[in-house]
Amino acid sequence: MPTATKGTREKQRQTRHARLRRRIRGSARRPRLVVYKSLKHVYAQIVDDERGHTIASASTLAEEIRGQVTAPTVEASRLVGQLVARRARAAGVEQVVFDRGGYPYHGKLKALADAAREEGLIL
């Protein structure tokens, strides 16, 4: 057992996210696509950091998706990625900066990003 642990897994993820956020910044031309995963749901938002506004958002709680998913699976993440991309394009956003939120880029995050790309969003 390590003697100098850094805290819980969530605290470690938050530390990684803070380190990423030092480099990643969304603008009006290229806002930030932020992803958050809980044990029950997957959330995605497109944020303009200059104005501090959320341009578009989607989650497994959205009415369009709610009936199709029962757990935060890879397929649920794919649906969230498609929905957030459609809403972003409707708001006039073509390009985004991908903020993985401190999570590793595979599984649910990769599925969400790939689905957003398939819907025409440039990551």
End-to-end C-alpha distance for the chain, whole angstroms: 40
Tally of domains within the chain: 1
> CATH number of the domain that 89 lies in?
3.30.420.100
Whether residue 71 contacts residue 96, with contact meaning beta carbons closer than 8 Å, is answered with no
Does residue 96 sit within a domain? yes
Over residues 33-47, mean pLDDT: 95
Using one digit for the tens of pLDDT, what is the confidence trace for 51-110?
Answer: 999 999 999 999 999 989 888 899 999 999 999 999 999 999 999 999 999 999 999 999
Could you tell me if residue 10 is inside a domain?
Answer: no
In a domain, 35, yes or no: yes
Q: What's the pTM?
A: 0.88
Assess if residue 101 is contained within a domain: yes
Does residue 105 lie within any of the structural domains? yes
Q: Is residue 16 in a domain?
A: no
